[in-house]
Structures are given as C-alpha cells and as structure tokens.
Amino acid sequence: MASTGGSHLSSGKINLSLLRDFYRRELLEALDKCLGSKALVWDSDLTGPFGLIAEYSLLKEHEVEKMFPLQTSGLPPSNVQNIIFIARPRLKLMDLIAQNLLQEEQKGGFRKEYHIIFVPRKSLLCEKRLKDLGVYGTLTNIEEFSLSLIPFDYDLMSMEMDNSFKECYLENDFTSMHYAAQSLMTLQTLYGVIPNICGKGDCAKQVVDMMLRMRRELCGQEPNITPQIDNLLILDRNVDLLTPLLSQLTYEGLIDEIFDINNTSVKLPPEKFQSGQGEESKGVPTEPKKVILNSSDVLYADLRDKNFNAVGSIVSKKAKTITAEFDERHSAKTVSDMKQFVSKLPHLQQVRQSLSIHTSIAELVKEYTDTDEFIDCLRCQQEFINSIETDKVHTYVEDCMGKQEPINKVLRLICIQSYCNNGLKPKVLDYYKREVLQTYGFEHIITIMNLERAGLIRLSGNRTYPTIKKSLRLIMEDVNEMVPNDISYVYSGYAPLSIRLAQYYARPGWRSITEVLNLLPGPTVEEIQQIPVALRKRRSSIGSINSTAAEQKITLVFFLGGVTYAEIAALRFLAQQDDGGTDYVIATTSILSGETLLNQVSVPLEPAKLNPF
C-alpha cells in the first residue's frame, strides 16, 4: 500500500481531507470489531485505492501485523488471531476466498478467526456462493465498507470503478450508478446539501432520481451544514464519446496514454532513472520506477495541465532558477547568510530531485511524441475532427491495418471517424469490419459488435456533428499552446465537448444552447434542493447562495463513465480564469483514456482447440 501524506487534499476550495478522514474512521471501526492481532488479505484491485485512505503505519496502530495478496497459492504462515479478507463483491473472488479458507482448515495449527469486509457493500449472491462452497460458517464476521469516492487531489475524486462504462452501456448493469448516488449523499453529509443540480444523459437522470429519493428517505435527519458546493453538474460519458478517443496532449494526459497512471502513481522504465553517483557498479536498475503524481509535488502541479509543447521551456526555466539558488551559497559571506541558505537547502534538494524526475519523464514522453507513428496518427485524428475525408475509407487507417499496428489504435481511429461523420456509410463500415477481422482474427467479432452497441461505431444517420461543432465552438484556429486562452489547448485545437457544456452551464447557462442539448443523447435534468433558511448563508457568511455573479461559485462536475486527464486540465484552466466566476471540483467513476475505453468493450474470443483430447 502506498503511503498517503494527505496535505495536498486540504488546499482546495473544499477540504477533501475531510472525506479521506471520514473513510479512515469507517475502515478503522470495521477493523476494530475484530479483537486481537490481524492479517489483511487484499483483493489486488483494492490495494491502490486503500493506500490513498490509510497508510500501513496507521493500520499497524490497530493491530494489523501482516498484509497478503489474495491468490490461489493460499496464505503464508502467520500467528495472528484474525484473518480479514478485504474484497469486492465478485463471485470469482469468493471462489478464491473459499479456496484459501479450505486450505487453512487443512493446515490446522494456530486457531484463527476469519472475516470478510466487502467493498463497497455486501452481496447476497456472494454470500450464497460462500454457502454453496461450504465456508460461510467458517466466517465470524461479514462486514461492508462503503468506500466510493476516493480523494486523489485537492479538486479530484474517483470511484475507481474501471468498468462502469461497459456495465452501463453494454450490460445494462447500473450498480455503479447506485454507488455514485450514495457517494453524492456522503458528500452532502460532509459538505452540505448541494442546492442546484443539473445533468445530461440517461445515467445522469438515474443518479439524480436515486439521490433525491435517498434524501427523502432521510426524512430531514441530515446534518445542518452550510452548503460549500453551489452546483452539481452530472454528465454521461456517452454525451461526449469523441473526447476520450482522441490523443490527449497535456503532460499528465500523455503520461497516462503511454504509461497508464493508477491511483495517482505511475511505473516507468527504470533505465532513465539511474542515480549516477557511485552507482555504476550496480548496473542499470531492473525494477520499474514508481512515481507519485499529485499536487504535493509543486513542479508536477505546475506541469501536469500544460500542453506538452510548453513543458520543455518550463522545465528549462525551473532548472536555471534552481541552479541560481544553489549558487547563492558561494555569495554567503556571514554566518547569518549561511544559516539562511542551510534552512532553504532541504526544499531546494527536494525541488532538484523533482526536476530530475520530470526531466526524465519528459524525455520519455518526447521519445513517444516524436515518432512517425504518433505524428501520423495525430494528423489523421485532426483531419477527422475537421471533417476531412470522413465519408470514405481513410488511407492511414488502411495502412495501420496493413502494418498490423495494435488493434485498439485502428478501432480508435474508426470510432473517431464514425463520430465525426455522424456514422459510416454501409460500404465503408463493411469494409472496415472485414479488414479488421481478416487482419487481426475473427475472435474480435464480439468487440466490433460491442462498439456498435455502445454507439462508438454506427451507420450514418442525422448530421448532428457539424451543428454541434459550430454551435459549441469545438474547433479553434491558431491555438496558443504556450499561453492558452481557451480550453482547446488540451487537444491542440479541439475543445472537449463535455467541458464546453460545463463552461456554458457556468455562463451564460444551458438555456442559451437548448437546441444543441437536444441533439445530444439522453434527457436534460434540472432540480433544486430546498435548504433551510438558516443554512442559506454561503461559506464564511460571505453572502447568500443566490449571490451575485461576481462571487465565485463552486461547481462539482461528476462524470459517469469516466473522464480523461485532458478534460480535468481543461476544467482547471476554466477555474483559473479571472472572469470565470466558478471553481470546479471533479468527481468521476474512473479516470479514462482511449486505450482503457477500448479495453472495456474488447472481448477477444479464445481460439477453440480443434483436438478436444
């Protein structure tokens, strides 16, 4: 489990360390129900999220002596009184837990008690599976821990439900929407009732309806807290399927596209991160370099939302500044001067280390963005979003298939072309399908069907894209990537549709774009939650909730189905504008990229064995 400092969570307009502390208390209460020494057995997908809530040193204070991964090989020997399995409610995990329990029974030896903590809630199906496998009676306690929104940074929370898009749009499983509604209720418990709610999409309507029902069921028994969040904007991912398919061009977005950021950390090739001083004899490190990526690193906070073309000059300028500050020691003439320099030294060394890390990361990213493959792919994407050659088979897509480039790259381009052409002509779609199956194998037929069911690929229909593109100003000419003046800098000329909607919601309001909203999928939802008069004062008694436009409002934007780092960067850009009037807090079911979106809908069939013996 990663260690969590947590100071970066309290530096935003709302203090997200309150949310982390709330989950900490809930977790520790669940653990303390098991008296005596403990070993935790982790579902591997939960170790990252839990590492952002409670570090190992805190768990040790509550008699946690060991931690093991949940795996088929069983549990290592341990002389603890309690074995606690922490797992998601998945049937395959129940099979694994049962296997572990049966192995423990066969071993005999030191008497232990066994417990399960389900995250985020219990499941009757899972409990039945444990009964069917004959291990339910072995368990002393079955608890649940409703971890939903995990604070990543001062303005960002994620449910880390990586398959929510697939579950909602392919499997008609809306469990994650229920969890989203519950997480919003938790936020209202901590930060007050959100007075204004707006949403777009079928899932957004579901979440709003569930949230309002849950509040009614409280029958007024809710904390009397002055609202800290003024507006809630909920957006379905399928309202804007184009944005996550495009290649992100911000520093953080590119790191995610290339190396995959998980729970605010990334693993990088080790050869770029040699210490260099006295380490030659040790050779090149073999373990991936793990780097934590959040705003506790001041340099990273400055770099992450920049277009990558602007990163080099910022790093260079910072390097010169640090060198100059280190050189100050030579001009120190008095004891007082030396003391002053020594007091700054730890900070300077920390910044220099951060600078070294991000110089190496920037070099890795540049190696990727300088390749012909990346440049040609980006050029093709730019042609599609500008409606160039979208109505016929594109030669670059053909070339990619001819070279047998990764299938996700090909499918991603076809999806972009489909969106920008309002669907593909029958002969174009049939050609692409046939070529993909002949090139990559018939086992990808289910993936193509899933892309069609999810609306990522479709036959040509109403020509809505040109209208949406023009009305919302999605394509901007002459974008200044170094000193941007519009959100389109995050994709070098394309403004994310989702963030344009957030921008229009803040000012001048969605009534000004009613016709465009009607072209987008799903209903538009608007609700007002009544708040007692005594609580209608704003934070620090600055003014009323319906105060003047000059007063900065806080809007929580909740993405159902995932959000990209480029979209997050665009929202942060809007919040930093002097005339914006709105600060943003971001919540999402998961962090998304084109690759992870495609992975959700991909179901490659296993080739059948001809010989059954």
Average pLDDT, consecutive stretches of 10 residues, N- to C-terminus, the chain (613 residues): 67 94 95 95 94 92 95 89 96 96 84 94 95 95 94 97 95 95 97 97 98 91 90 98 98 98 95 61 73 95 97 92 72 67 72 92 97 98 96 97 97 98 97 97 95 96 93 94 96 98 95 96 95 68 40 93 98 89 96 97 75 58
Task: Return the pLDDT at 330.
Answer: 58
Q: How many domains would you assign to the chain?
A: 3
Q: Are residues 264 and 211 in the same domain?
A: no
Give how far the C-alpha of residue 393 lies from the chain's centroid of Cα atoms, to the nearest Å: 34
User: Residue 611: its pLDDT value, please?
Assistant: 62
The CATH number of whichever domain residue 16 belongs to comes to 3.40.50.2060
Contact (CB, 8 A) for 596 and 248? no
d(CA 205, CA 20) in angstroms, rounded, equals: 28
Q: What pTM value is reported for the model?
A: 0.92
State whether 202 and 312 are in the same domain: no
CA torsion sign, 16 to 39 to 92 to 140? negative
Q: What is the chain's percent helix, strand, coil content, to nearest 5?
A: 50, 15, 35
Long-range contacts (CB closer than 8 Å, 24 or more residues apart) made by 271-277: 272/360, 272/361, 272/363, 272/364, 273/357, 273/360
pLDDT at site 224: 87
Sign of the CA dihedral running 292, 293, 295, 297: positive
Q: Are residues 538 and 586 in the same domain?
A: yes
Residues 127, 133, 138, 143, Cα dihedral to 10°? -20
Distance of alpha carbon 557 from alpha carbon 506, whole angstroms: 11
Within a domain: 607 = no
How confident is the model at residue 540, as a pLDDT? 43
Boundary residue ending a domain (111, 132, 147): 147
Closest of 254, 192, 240 to residue 529, by C-alpha = 192
Is residue 606 assigned to a domain? no
Domain presence at residue 437: no
The CATH number of the domain holding residue 290 is 3.90.830.10
The whole-angstrom separation of Cα 189 and Cα 376 is 50
Residue 411 lies in a domain: no
pLDDT given for residue 560 in this prediction: 98
CA–CA separation, 185 and 33 (whole Å): 25
Among residues 369, 392, 410, the one where a domain terminates is: 369
- For 113, the token pair is 């008690």
Residue 276 lies in a domain: yes
Residues 346 and 263 in one domain: yes
Are 170 and 132 members of one domain?
no
Per-residue pLDDT tens for 116-147? 999 999 999 999 999 999 999 999 999 999 99
Q: Are residues 79 and 183 in the same domain?
A: no
Residues 233 and 267 in one domain: no
Residue 237 inside a domain? The answer is: yes
The answer on 223 and 274 residing in a single domain is: no
Residues 266 and 143 in one domain: no
CATH code for position 590 = 3.40.50.1910
Alpha carbon distance 561, 581 (integer Å): 27
In a domain? residue 268:
yes
If asked whether residues 84 and 127 sit together in one domain, one would say: yes
Alpha carbon distance 577, 123 (integer Å): 46
Residue 259 sits in the same domain as residue 353: yes
pLDDT in tens, 50-81: 999 999 999 999 999 999 999 998 899 888 99
β-strand 524-528 against 289-292: which pairing, if any? unpaired
Cβ contacts of 331 within 8 Å, gap of 6 or more: 337
Q: Check whether residue 213 and residue 264 sit in a common domain.
A: no
| Enclosing domain of residue 35 | 7-147
Among candidate residues 335, 369, 403, the one where a domain is terminated = 369
pLDDT of residue 106: 86
22 within some domain = yes
Query: From the CA atom positions of the chain, what is the Rg in Å?
Result: 26
